[in-house]
Amino acid sequence: MQQEILINWSPQETRVAVIEHGAVQELHVERALERGLVGNIYLGKVARVLPGMQSAFVDIGLERTAFLHVADLWQPPLDGESLPAHRHGGGARPIEKQVFEGQTLMVQVIKDPIGTKGARLSTQVSIAGRMLVFLPQDDHVGVSQKIAPALRDALRTRVQALVRADLAPGQPSGGFILRTNAEDASDAELAEDIAYLRKTWARIREAAGRQPPASLLHQDLNLLQRVLRDLVGEQTQSIRLDSREQCEALLAFGREYMPAAAERLQLYRGERPIFDLYNVDEEITRALGRRVDLKSGGYLIIDHTEALTTIDVNTGGFTGARNFDDTVFKTNLEAAQAIARQLRLRNLGGIIVIDFIDMAQAEHQQAVLAEFRKQLARDRVKTHVGSFSPLGLVEMTRKRTRESLAQLLSEPCGQCQGSGRVRTARTVAYDILREILREARQFNPKEFRVVAAPAVVEMLVDEESQHLAGLSDFIGKPIALQAESALGPDQYDIVLL
């Protein structure tokens, strides 16, 4: 499989497209104003200790001081004590016995500032890699609970051996937690991650020794850097970036931490915008729509609810095969390929239910399922696919890794509130007539004025004019109409004059 990565950079936004076999397979977007602070490590200075709240306020150089609770204070193990990873908490020791005003602490943000509240901090440092999380204050190797139990012991043993092999004499090992991405990792990939994490920690410690209090020591990787860490694989032929300044900075970062990936980085010098090479902007627009057309004439309909995503496969105008069974089979095969691509492109996660077109032959079902699983094997995100249910549905799950493309780039319609439907002009007209009658029973204005969308006013003036006149006669008041194009199709106001 041949893969290219295109990066479009601007001061406000970074966009990354992963291209395989000439088609966009993944899109990643990061906006400068929306980057959070979680994961950032600071050299903080304790500004105030509050024994009554068992907490402290720490200056980390932000507009508001950050909050450190006694439960988020890491304590080193006592002599002879063996502790699991992530040991927090002050235990019986109150916070005023552990920190004092003016003290310098290395802290990590575990919750972003919200409203008037400052960031929440921890003194337990963790650094995320591609497959491992490094806990420099511990010496425990843990395994994610999401990794199959049968694989955990073997993975732990492999990592423990790699950790020991990488150690310099007298160097503390630190603790590691294996992420789900490590499940299929080779020893070389794990060793590369261990080396990267240790080098990152050494740089943080060095910065802590020379930087003044309230300094940022480490920021979680930005999207450009995560491209080298998370997206580049053996199949990646090139990484093209359209900013000279960012290319030079990323090259310097890559040469230090990920030299193999950095070798594939190139500055894009073309006159056309880089995303025009593969019509990426058009793909983004299509990826926000419900309907996905297939080359055969069939199509997919993709809908989202709070609990799950549904994908419906339709034959459309595809009649190219010799009989209906072949038409259905060929449409479903093409749909299996398209659905696997759409899951990656849109970054759909959670529970997904697929309604393939009913197939009479069991071998056709198995062939479609085999093709679908084959296509999903290219997905870097963990998936699990079931078999066809008695109703002909395929249920699957895909791990949520970040916001979907639709969540990132769009929001629910303010007029339909995300339902995808609005009431008809006639329905709204009848609502207005009922509302006027209700108001007339409570108030005695000189006139009722209806302000509504043009289509609703047209409906009242034209097809519903008889009912409007009858209501005016019944309440004994004139009813005036005013069209307002700024109103949505089912928005209106009744003004009492």
Residues paired with residue 106 on neighbouring β-strands, in sequence order: 43
Give the CA radius of gyration of the chain: 30
Name residue 185's amino acid. A
201 shares its domain with 54: yes
CATH of the domain at 431: 3.40.1260.20
pLDDT of residue 260: 84
With H, G, I as helix, E, B as strand and everything else as coil, classify residue 1: coil
Query: What's 117's DSSP letter?
Result: B
Of 71-85, 254-268, 389-403, 413-427, which gets the smallest average pLDDT?
Answer: 71-85
Would you tell me how many other CB atoms lie within 10 Å of the CB of residue 180? Answer: 17
- Tell me the mean pLDDT in the region 339-366: 93
When pLDDT is averaged across residues 65-85 and rounded to a whole number, the result is 70
Integer Cα distance of 341 and 336 in angstroms: 9
Could you tell me where the beta strands, DSSP code E, fall in 11-83? 13-20, 23-31, 41-50, 55-59, 66-69
Q: What is the pLDDT of residue 487?
A: 87
Place of tokens 């439960």: 71
Q: How crowded is residue 199: how many other Cβ atoms within 10 Å of its Cβ?
A: 12
Q: What percent of the chain has pLDDT over 70?
A: 95
Structure confidence at residue 318 as a pLDDT band (50, 70, 90): low
List the one residue out of 312, 337, 313, 315 whose CA is nearest residue 326: 315
Token pair in block for residue 264: 């594939």
**pLDDT value at position 53?**
92
- Is the same domain home to 128 and 101? yes
Where does the pLDDT of residue 357 fall: very low under 50, low under 70, confident under 90, or very high at 90 and above? very high
| Rounded mean pLDDT, 82-110 | 75
For residue 359, the enclosing domain spans: 290-409
Q: Which residue has the higher pLDDT, 262 or 36?
A: 262
Tell me which amino acid residue 455 is: A
Determine, yes or no, domain membership for 417. Answer: no
CATH at 115: 2.40.50.140
Handedness of CA 160, 161, 165, 171 (dihedral sign): positive
Percent of the chain exceeding pLDDT 90 equals 61
How many whole angstroms separate alpha carbon 15 and alpha carbon 7? 6
Which pLDDT tens digit goes with each residue over 420-436? 788 899 999 999 999 99
**Domain assignment present for 102:** yes
Q: How far apart are alpha carbons 415 and 421 in whole angstroms?
A: 9
**Contact indicator for 355, 303 with CB cutoff of 8 Å:** no
pLDDT, tens digit, for every residue of 264-294?
999 999 999 999 999 999 999 989 899 999 9
**Mean of pLDDT values over 458-478:** 92
173 or 129, higher pLDDT: 129
User: Is residue 418 included in any domain, yes or no?
Assistant: no
Residue 47 lies in a domain: yes
pLDDT at 211 over 70: yes
Same-domain check for residues 375 and 440: no
Same domain, residue pair 273 and 334: no
> Same domain, yes or no, for 203 and 65?
yes
Q: What is the pLDDT averaged over residues 172-191?
A: 86
Residue 210 to residue 212: CA distance in whole angstroms? 7
Task: Encode burial over 453-468: b for 16+ CB neighbours within 10 A, e otherwise.
Answer: beebbbbbeeebeeeb
CATH number, residue 16: 3.30.420.60
pLDDT of res. 224: 95
Cβ–Cβ < 8 Å for 326, 268: no
Domain endpoint, select from 381, 409, 437 = 409
Phi-psi region of 420 (alpha: psi -120 to 50; beta: other; left: phi over 0): left
CA 318 to CA 295: how far, in whole Å? 9
**Average pLDDT over every residue of 137-160:** 88
Per-residue pLDDT at 89:
52
C-alpha 177/C-alpha 245 separation (Å) is 35
Instruction: For residues 182-205, give the mean pLDDT.
Output: 89
DSSP 320-353: -SSSHHHHHHHHHHHHHHHHHHHHHHHT--EEEE
Helix (H), strand (E) at residue 196: helix 187-210
pLDDT surpassing 80 at residue 76: no
Domain termination residue (choose one: 280, 299, 317): 280
- Does residue 330 share a domain with residue 272? no
- Mean pLDDT computed over every residue of the chain: 89
Find where tokens 């302000």 sit.
451
Give the Cα separation of 144 and 382 in Å (integer).
14
Largest CA distance in the chain: 98
Residues 464, 395, single domain; the answer is no
Please check whether residue 261 is in contact with residue 228, taking contact to mean a CB–CB distance below 8 angstroms.
yes
pLDDT at 77: 58
Q: What pTM did the predictor assign?
A: 0.72
Instruction: Verify that 263 and 330 share a domain, yes or no.
Output: no
**Given this model, what pLDDT does residue 80 score?**
44
Same-domain pairing of 48 and 187 = yes
Domain boundary among the residues 218, 235, 266 is at 218
Q: pLDDT category, 87, cuts 50, 70, 90?
A: very low
- Give a yes or no: residue 414 inside a domain: no
- On whether both 192 and 234 belong to a single domain, the answer is no
φ/ψ of residue 434, rounded to 5: -65, -40
Confidence (pLDDT) at 192: 87
Distance (Å, rounded) from C-alpha 485 to C-alpha 464?
20
Residue 53 lies in a domain: yes
* 389 and 474 both lie in a single domain: no
Average pLDDT over residues 341-358: 94
Residue 416 lies in a domain: no
Q: Do 391 and 468 belong to one domain?
A: no
Q: What is the pLDDT of residue 320?
A: 52
Whether residue 63 is contained in a domain is answered as: yes
Number of domains in the chain: 4
